[in-house]
Amino acid sequence: MGEPVEIDTGQVADQRTVYDAQRGRCPVAHEDGAWVVLRHAEVVAAATDPATYSSDVSSRRAIPNSLDGAEHAAYRAVVDRYLTPGRVAREEPQCRAHAAAIVDALPRDTTVKTVGGIGVPYAVRSQSTWLGWRPDLEDDLVAWMQDNHAATRSGDRARTAEVAERFDRMVHTLLDARRDAPAADVTGELLGETVDGRPLTDEEVVSILRNWTAGDLGSLATSVGVIVHFLATNPAVQRVVRAQVEAGDRAAVEAAVEEILRIDDPFVANRRVATREAELGGETIPEGGRVLLNWTAANRDPLVFGDPDEYDPAGHAAANLVFGIGPHVCPGRDLTLMELRVVVEELLARTSWIEPAPDRPAVRETPPVGGWARVPVVLR
C-alpha cells in the first residue's frame, strides 16, 4: 500500500472540526436529549452490543436495519445472498460501462460538477441495472434523490416521511409490473424470497429495496464527491492512486477509497436506543435513552489513528469504521467498494489529471448530511 502520505486538508470549515473538538472534550456528549458517541472505543462498544443498544429506533419498520437478534439475523441472511463476492463480481461490467460512458461525456479543461455530473447518474444507473429497473426511471430517481436530500437537511420529519412514502409508491408500482411480467433479476428474485418458511410480504420487499436504494443512491453519489475532492486537492495521493490504477491493483484502489472515506466520512451517524441503564464513556445512559453513533468522529479519533488526516490505507484499515462494525455492519460493503473502485478507475484512466476548479470553491454539505454538496473540478 506504500508509505503514509501527509495531505492538505485545506481551510474549509466543516462539521468534522466540530466533531473533533467535541470528541477531545468528552467521548460521549449529551446534546438535545440524546447521547452522541464520539470516541472510537465507545462507538465500537455500543455497535457490538445490540442487546444494550438496540436498532429498533423508528416507528417505520426498516428491514433489516431496525431489527435485532434472531429476527435481524433471519432477514440479514436474505439480504446477504444478494451481496456475495460472486454476485458483486457479476455487476462489475455494467458498472464499468456506466462509469466509462459518464466520464467520456464530460468536457475537458473546463469546470464540471462531480456530485451532479458523475456521482448521481452513476449511482442511479448502476443501481437500476443491478435491480432490473427500467432506464426511463432515471429522471424520477434523480428528482427523488434531490428531494430526499433536501428533506434530510431540513430536519422536518413530516417532509422526510412524505418523501419516503413517495419512494414506496414508486417501488410498489414496480413490483406490480414485475408480477405481470416476471424477470430474472434482483427485484424478481426478491419477490420469491422466504423468511422463517413463509414468503416475504410486499411491505418487507419494499423495505429491503428502500434500504438498498433510498440510502445507497445518495451515499454512492456523496462518496464520489468526497473521493474526487480528496484526489483533486491532494496531488501526492492522486499520483499514488493513478499508479495503482495503471498497475491494475484493484485491492490497493479499494483500500485507497476506504481510507479517503475514513478521513472525510460522509456517513455521519446511526441511531440506537438503550434497552437498559448503561455506562458509556463516563456517562450514565438511562433505559430508553437515544444514542447516536458518530462514525465520522470515531474515524478521526487520534487515540486510534494518530493524525486523523494522515493518508495511510494499510496502517488504518483494521480500525476503519466507514462501513460500521458489529451485527449491523453494512452488508453492501463489497458492492459499494466495487462500485467506487470502478468509477475511480475509469475516471483516472480516462483523464491525465484532476484539479480543483479555479473559479468555484467546493461547498460542504449542511449537517446532518456529511461530505460535499458541490465539488467543481477540471478534468485534463
Q: Report which DSSP code applies to 195.
A: E
- Residue 112 near residue 379 (C-beta atoms within 8 A): yes
3-state class (DSSP) for residue 302:
helix
Residues 6+ away with beta carbon under 8 Å from 183: 132
Alpha-carbon gap, residue 141 to 218, rounded angstroms: 10
- Structural domain that includes position 34: 15-379
Is residue 270 a part of any domain in this protein? yes
CATH number for 353 = 1.10.630.10
Is residue 1 a part of any domain in this protein? no
Is residue 7 a part of any domain in this protein? no
Instruction: Please report how the helices 202-210 and 157-180 are oriented relative to each other, as an axis angle in degrees rounded to 10.
Output: 120
Q: Report which DSSP code applies to 312.
A: -
Alpha-carbon gap, residue 344 to 122, rounded angstroms: 11
Residue segments in the chain with a per-residue pLDDT below the cut of 50: 1-12
- Residue 220 near residue 339 (C-beta atoms within 8 A): yes
CA neighbor of 377 nearest in space, from 177, 235, 183, 187:
235
Is residue 196 a part of any domain in this protein? yes
- Residue 17 near residue 372 (C-beta atoms within 8 A): no
- Could you tell me the pTM of the whole model? 0.93
H or E segment and range at residue 377: strand 376-379
Is residue 6 a part of any domain in this protein? no
Is residue 10 a part of any domain in this protein? no
User: What CA dihedral angle connects 41, 45, 47 and 52, to 10 degrees?
Assistant: -150
Neighbour order of strands in the sheet with 269-274: 28-31, 34-37, 290-294, 269-274, 53-54
Alpha-carbon gap, residue 101 to 110, rounded angstroms: 18
- Whole-number pLDDT of residue 13: 59
Is residue 4 a part of any domain in this protein? no
Alpha-carbon gap, residue 180 to 201, rounded angstroms: 17
Alpha-carbon gap, residue 256 to 299, rounded angstroms: 15
- Whole-number pLDDT of residue 152: 83
- Residue 262 near residue 323 (C-beta atoms within 8 A): no
Query: Rounded to a whole number, what is the distance in angstroms from the first to the last CA of the chain?
Result: 26
- Whole-number pLDDT of residue 376: 98
How many domains is the chain partitioned into structurally?
1
Cis peptide before 368 (omega within 30 of 0): yes
- Residue 52 near residue 197 (C-beta atoms within 8 A): no
Is residue 188 a part of any domain in this protein? yes
